Structure 1
Amino acid sequence: MSRLDVNRSGEMEVFVRVVELGGFTAAARACRMTPSAVSKLMGRLETRLGARLINRSTRKLQLTPEGSAFYERCTTILADLDEAERSVSTGERAVGRIRINTSASFGNHLLAPLVAEFLALHPGVTLDIVQTDKVVDLMEERTDIAIRAGPMKSSSLVARKLGATRMMVVAAPAHIERFGLPTTIAELERHNRLGFCYVRSVDGWPLSDGERTIVLPIVGSVQTSDGEALRQLVICGAGLARLAAFTVRDDIAAGRLVAVMEDHNPGDLEEVHAVYLGQGGPLPARIRALLDFLAEKARVT
């Protein structure tokens, strides 16, 4: 008989109960079995092991040397099984490590300011935060949650929407002083238009001319794979960029950046989702806690 066909942990449970309760009848009551079922199980166990575990008499049971050794090992194994189950089934208590993959923009502007609050609520959790604009394979990178912007493609991932943000063209005051403030789409031609060096859902800047939306190509002298690097380039006066509103709102309020071409902004929104591998069973408490926290606190607007 294959080991897969034998409930070995169940046999160990019954055997330990027989030993600790001192008889088949008491063990049968504890295990919700009949005494004859316990007796048959013990017989099958001894036959399979090829050793007598218990010497039976009409008045009491006595462990054989093999039975004593087996009893000690069984109690250890069952305790380890209980601990293994507790380690992954902590009820509502969030415990363990969470690996998060996020863009630097979301990580710096929305996630980082909330980390201390989340850890105070869940002191048993530790976070690994990996910042990259690259779309990673969650299973291959052993990532629990990834933050992704843009339209969601069909996949096996589960997505939880964190909000949507306006996109806006911005420039530094120094750049405007040098090249002027563009007010028409044609005037953008003389400005250095910075962008990303990876393929995006819209390869260019959607702009409205009053009747329709056109997509202006990005032909600047600098491209980058990092939204935060692009933001810093704009702040330093290297050119214009079209960025998510939540990443530049503070810069505009502080005077580091200026919103331009707002009359030609088509008002399109970029959605942001937390995605995770959610198929095949309930989520661990730690993952569920962070998803709920982000959905409440990290609202993207």
Structure 2
Amino acid sequence: MSRMDVNRFGEMEVFVRVVEMAGFSAAARACRMTPSAVSKLITRLETRLGTRLVNRSTRKLQLTPEGCAFYERSTRILADLDEAERNASSGEKPAGRIRLNTNASFATHILAPLVPEFLARYPDIALNIVQTDAVIDLLEEHTDVAVRAGPLKSSSLVARKLGATRMMIVASPDYLKRFGHPNTVPELEKHNRLGFCYARTIEGWPLIYEGEAVTLPVIGNVQVSDGEAMRQLALAGAGLARVAAFTVRDDIKAGRLVTVLEDCNPRDLEEVHAVYLGQGGPLPARIRALLDFLAERERVG
């Protein structure tokens, strides 16, 4: 069967409904189909793609990694199609207010330098930027888009990857002058290792020691709630900090901070995503404009 004989957009719409409504029966009612017809369509789609998208059980559905990726791309494609049709018929321009939630580090080092260019390109858009490292409920907080770093938990949110950043250990020259520059992983035990006071995916600093992966506990005498506060503590000489590279690259270039044990750095990356509510039809033009702008202008670094 050729691609011309397959209603790929129709298949995507049904698949997205199955995911967002968490079941064949609910999706069937929304699509005015029978549950068996929906089940057969998903099976036919998986056969054509040559991969399983959904793990089925008697009680619930669970997306496979391939299914998650296909869902994300499908929602974007369907939103683009709807927006293209809407723009063709009404000439809609991106306009209105966007409430954006992001952490202080991303707001300071990535977003702020880009805001003038974005507003110049879209003069009818206004931004409300709220800074917090806490994971918020977008619906409850009336938020259009949130920027989140690190692994994403499974949820009803749609995610768009903006890029990734490398993690590194840094300290101020003054701190290293007072307490010494550690040259091996065991020497880190003698240093004040600053930490975060919220749950992290990895509770410690991942390092490479004698060819083996190790995790060093963070037991410093100061903990903070956001990356920008961590940067300021490092600049003040309070201790060693493990931070995202993009937050300190200018400080390193200017000599205000120095990297520590880069040869033991596992070069792990922390991904950065924009997340938003994907149900209920296509995205407004103003939201799509922001997402496209961020994705094309900044890969975080």
Taking structure 1 as the reference length, the TM-score comes to 0.70
Match for residue 163 of structure 1? 163
Distance 2:90 2:263 in 1: 53
Distance 2:253 2:186 in 1: 27
Match for residue 206 of structure 1? 206
Alignment-mate amino acid for residue 176 of structure 1? L
Distance 2:163 2:221 in 1: 32
Q: Note the C-alpha offset of 1:135.
A: 0.5
Query: CA-to-partner distance for each residue in 1:189-228, whole Å, 9 max, x for gaps?
Result: 1111001000011111000013221110100000000110
Secondary structure at 2:219's aligned position in 1?
A: coil
Is the CA contact (8 Å cut-off) linking 1:90 and 1:285 kept in structure 2? no
Match for residue 191 of structure 1? 191
- Unpaired runs of at least 5, structure 1: 1-85
- Unpaired runs of at least 5, structure 2: 1-85
Change (3 A) 1:278 1:168: same
Distance 1:113 1:211 in 2: 40
Match for residue 103 of structure 1? 103
Match for residue 48 of structure 1? none
Over 3 Å off, 4+ runs: 89-92
CA RMSD of aligned residues (A): 1.3
Distance 2:210 2:168 in 1: 17
Q: Note the C-alpha offset of 1:291.
A: 0.1
Q: Note the C-alpha offset of 1:108.
A: 0.2
Aligned residues: 214
Matches within 5 A, 1:69-108: 91-108=91-108
Q: Which has the larger radius of gyration?
A: 1
Q: Note the C-alpha offset of 1:91.
A: 4.2
Matches within 5 A, 1:232-243: 232-243=232-243
Match for residue 173 of structure 1? 173
Distance 1:258 1:211 in 2: 24
Secondary structure at 1:299's aligned position in 2?
A: coil
Is the CA contact (8 Å cut-off) linking 1:111 and 1:298 kept in structure 2? no
Distance 1:129 1:176 in 2: 36
Matches within 5 A, 1:241-260: 241-260=241-260
Secondary structure at 1:267's aligned position in 2?
A: coil
Secondary structure at 2:109's aligned position in 1?
A: helix
Does residue 229 in structure 1 map to residue 217 in structure 2? no
Distance 2:90 2:216 in 1: 52
Query: CA-to-partner distance for each residue in 1:147-180, whole Å, 9 max, x for gaps?
Result: 0000111111001101111100000000000011
Match for residue 114 of structure 1? 114
Secondary structure at 2:270's aligned position in 1?
A: strand
Change (3 A) 1:134 1:292: same
Change (3 A) 1:156 1:286: same
Q: Note the C-alpha offset of 1:280.
A: 2.0
Distance 1:90 1:233 in 2: 52
Change (3 A) 1:273 1:119: same
Distance 1:195 1:264 in 2: 19
Match for residue 139 of structure 1? 139
Alignment-mate amino acid for residue 240 of structure 1? L
Match for residue 278 of structure 2? 278
Q: Note the C-alpha offset of 1:92.
A: 4.1
Match for residue 300 of structure 1? 300
Is the CA contact (8 Å cut-off) linking 1:91 and 1:285 kept in structure 2? no
Distance 1:195 1:248 in 2: 16
Is the CA contact (8 Å cut-off) linking 1:99 and 1:143 kept in structure 2? yes
Taking structure 2 as the reference length, the TM-score comes to 0.70
Match for residue 219 of structure 1? 219
Distance 2:265 2:185 in 1: 11
Change (3 A) 1:268 1:118: same
Distance 2:121 2:166 in 1: 31
Alignment-mate amino acid for residue 103 of structure 2? S
Change (3 A) 1:216 1:290: same
Q: Note the C-alpha offset of 1:131.
A: 0.5
Distance 2:146 2:257 in 1: 29
